[in-house]
Structure 1
Amino acid sequence: MTAARSGARRRRSPAFLIGLTSIALLLFTGFCALGVWQVQRLAWKRDLIARIDARIHAAPVSTPASASQADEYRRVTATGTFLHGKAALVQASTIRGPGFWVLTPLRRADGTILFVNRGFVPDRRAAYNRPYGEVRVTGLLRLTEPGGGFLRANDPAADRWYSRDVAAIARSRNLAAANYFIDAQASAARGYPVGGLTVLRFPNNHLQYAITWFALAAMTVAGYIIVMRQTGKDRRP
């Protein structure tokens, strides 16, 4: 009598089996979708790395009037005069430690303004080189970084910048500038600012993520099969 009651308690209702199947199917579909997405991201990241590698090793070209994502990390060159009095210090975290980027407007002969990230200084009071007269700048084209940094919004009123937001910095200095800036390459001159610190290493963990999601999908199937087999045993008289 006791064994018969125990067997009856172990029997799963049809509603339970339907619910279990639905949950397993939902998890399996979701994990597979995430795995496929990571495979697509892997292909995109590899293509991005290949394109950027080709750009940074190409001969520099003239700066465009405006830029899009298709132009980012392209090597460019520009000639003009620095407006040192309108430079902005933007908070930076580099291989040299925390400090600031010196973002200085460059006025070209035709009057257009380009912002140049001349490089790194360790603090706001650091003395750095200020070349006057016509200069030639070569570096990597970078798109503007609107908004601010992580959990920190740019504060134009206090002249505190946590991202290289070209449009906001230009407005605060009554300038009209292109929608990008140039990361200047390293200079032969000693002292600050230190150029050539553009980070060109892009994390590419999408293959590991894809394997993880597909493994979870396989575990979901395995767990479902085990539960269904155990349920089948419990239903035997």
Structure 2
Amino acid sequence: MAKSDDNAVKTRAERSFEKPRMLQTLLVGCLATALFTVFVGLGIWQIERRDWKLDLIAAVEERANADSVKAPMPEAWPDLSFEGDEYRRVTLAGRFLAGADTLARATTDYGYGYWLMTPLNVDGGYTAFINRGFVPSREIAGEIAPPAGDVVVTGLLRMSQPGGGFLRSNDPAAGRWYSRDVEAMAEAEGISLPVAPFFVDAETPVSATSSAEWHVAGSAPTTATRYPIAGLTVTSFRNSHLVYALTWLALAALTLLGAAILVRRRMARGKGR
């Protein structure tokens, strides 16, 4: 009779141990399933992003290297988009608006400085900002006047960049621009004509004065740099989405493997009792 009571006590003890063990195993399974689903979803998303990036790179290369076309007129502006028009090679004709330059912060292979943005009153009754190129300082920018009279500018169409840069907002009142927000730039300069929702990165310098040539201190005249430096538009894009996708999918596989090992060990401990 005592032996039967002992067996009953053991059975109750095993059952009391079995319930939390099963609950823990269930929780581990749920957590592993959730993590697996998230990791697989992120992996699939990165694969989709890779396909999008490859299509973008191909489209940009085709547009940037194609023959230039006339810049879009106002009636075509509502249909413009980053996916369909960014980096398209275009040509504009008109007259620069003197004394209305805007300097937007820039980081290039030449260092930190500014993009020299000048409004062009385009033949056709609207204004488009032209990025005449890179200048290293405000002082140098002030010495580089736009040419007077009729000009023709060829370059890459870029969609307006509203708001500002990373963690930095544009401050029109202080003249601090971290992105090329052409609508806000036009408002700050009091431009009355309709303003294109894009700007154009000029392929070659568009300047009227020879004072754009400057010498680095202590350098020989042959190493003089002419500002603004045009044609610096970056048309190559980093594409690491495949690496990210493989990383997420590997984490998904490791999650399954880890959960399987943990469950197996718990089951083996249960049988050993």
The alignment's TM-score, normalised by the length of structure 2, stands at 0.80
Residue 143 of structure 1 is matched in structure 2 by: 159
Cα distance in 2 for residues equivalent to 1:198 and 1:32: 36
Deviates more, 1:188-197 or 1:37-46: 188-197
Of Structure 1 and Structure 2, the greater helix share is in 2
Cα distance in 2 for residues equivalent to 1:183 and 1:229: 62
Cα distance in 2 for residues equivalent to 1:83 and 1:122: 22
The residue identity in structure 1 corresponding to 2:203 is: Q
Residue 21 of structure 1 is matched in structure 2 by: 29
Instruction: Give the secondary structure class of the aligned counterpart of 2:147.
Output: coil
From 184, 189, 203, the counterpart of 2:202? 184
* Displacement after TM superposition at 1:18 (Å): 1.1
In structure 2, the CA distance between the partners of 1:42 and 1:10, relative to structure 1 (3 Å rule), is farther
Cα distance in 1 for residues equivalent to 2:71 and 2:108: 26
Residue 214 of structure 1 is matched in structure 2 by: 249
Cα distance in 2 for residues equivalent to 1:169 and 1:229: 65
Matches within 5 A, 1:60-139: 60-65=68-73, 66=77, 67-69=80-82, 70-126=84-140, 127-139=143-155
Counterpart contact for 2:147–2:206, Cα < 8 Å: no
Aligned length: 232
Cα distance in 1 for residues equivalent to 2:198 and 2:123: 18
- Percent sequence identity over aligned pairs: 46
Residue 161 of structure 1 is matched in structure 2 by: 177
Larger Rg: 2
The residue identity in structure 1 corresponding to 2:202 is: A
Residue 189 of structure 2 is matched in structure 1 by: 173
Residue 199 of structure 1 is matched in structure 2 by: 234
Instruction: Give the secondary structure class of the aligned counterpart of 2:99.
Output: helix
Counterpart contact for 1:129–1:193, Cα < 8 Å: no
Residue 216 of structure 2 is matched in structure 1 by: none
* Displacement after TM superposition at 1:90 (Å): 0.9
* Displacement after TM superposition at 1:99 (Å): 0.6
Deviates more, 1:126-135 or 1:112-121: 126-135
The residue identity in structure 2 corresponding to 1:192 is: Y
* Displacement after TM superposition at 1:84 (Å): 2.4
* Displacement after TM superposition at 1:129 (Å): 4.8
In structure 2, the CA distance between the partners of 1:61 and 1:136, relative to structure 1 (3 Å rule), is same
Query: Which aligned runs of 4 or more in structure 1 are off by greater than 4 angstroms?
Result: 7-12
The residue identity in structure 1 corresponding to 2:256 is: V
Note the alpha carbon deviations across 1:151-189, whole angstroms, 9 max, x for none. 221111122211100000011112231100001013498
Matches within 5 A, 1:7-46: 13-46=21-54
Cα distance in 1 for residues equivalent to 2:132 and 2:145: 10
Deviates more, 1:83-92 or 1:202-211: 83-92
Cα distance in 2 for residues equivalent to 1:105 and 1:63: 15
Counterpart contact for 1:129–1:192, Cα < 8 Å: no
Counterpart contact for 1:76–1:139, Cα < 8 Å: yes
CA RMSD in angstroms comes to 1.9
